Amino acid sequence: MTFFEFEADFVDNLRCIPMQVRFKLDTCGIKLKLSDWTHFSEAERQALVEQPCTTTSEIQTYCQKLQILVQKHTGSQAKDIQVDANPEWTNSTNISPNVQEKAQELGVILTVQQWQALTPLQRFALIKLSRPSHENKNFLPALQEFYLV
């Protein structure tokens, strides 16, 4: 299991959705609200952290399990989202424009070599943390953790 240092303030009890689960949600096409996540027991949250979600079969199983949990705790279905066939974080040759812009706001210039050295999960985290709709407080800590500043 990979938790980032910038997530340290909430991963002990999983009160927020960690990046590795958000990564799985985007992989299987589920929009999970934090309010739904908080209804899950700590054991259920931990199981979602640990459950693999890589192969087609694992993705289907993860999606089904998640929908069952949401239905059980909220009485409704989680919203489906479009699964991108070529998500930005899999592209190691082009830095996401949002990431580059957010980094530049902080006086950081990212190179393609640095971007290529990141794991897909690290690139995913930076993309999520750089979105205009996100509060972005963990963007700089993530850059520091990934040795980009």
At 1, the pLDDT band (50, 70, 90 cuts) reads low
Structure-block tokens of residue 53: 């979600």
**Which alpha helices (DSSP H) does the chain contain, by range?**
8-11, 19-28, 34-37, 42-50, 56-74, 97-105, 112-117, 120-130, 139-145
- Quick one: average pLDDT of 57-69? 97
pLDDT at 64: 96
| Residue that wins the pLDDT comparison between 133 and 42 | 42
pLDDT at 11: 83
| 3-class secondary structure per residue, 30-53 | EECCHHHHCCCCHHHHHHHHHCCC
- Quick one: average pLDDT of 6-15? 88
At 113, the pLDDT band (50, 70, 90 cuts) reads very high
Q: What digits encode the pLDDT tens for the residues 19-36?
A: 999 999 999 999 999 999
Share of the chain above pLDDT 90, in %: 90
- Quick one: average pLDDT of 16-21? 95
- Quick one: average pLDDT of 91-106? 95
- Quick one: average pLDDT of 91-102? 95
pLDDT at 34: 94
Q: Above 80 in pLDDT, residue 81?
A: yes
Q: Above 70 in pLDDT, residue 72?
A: yes
pTM of the model: 0.92
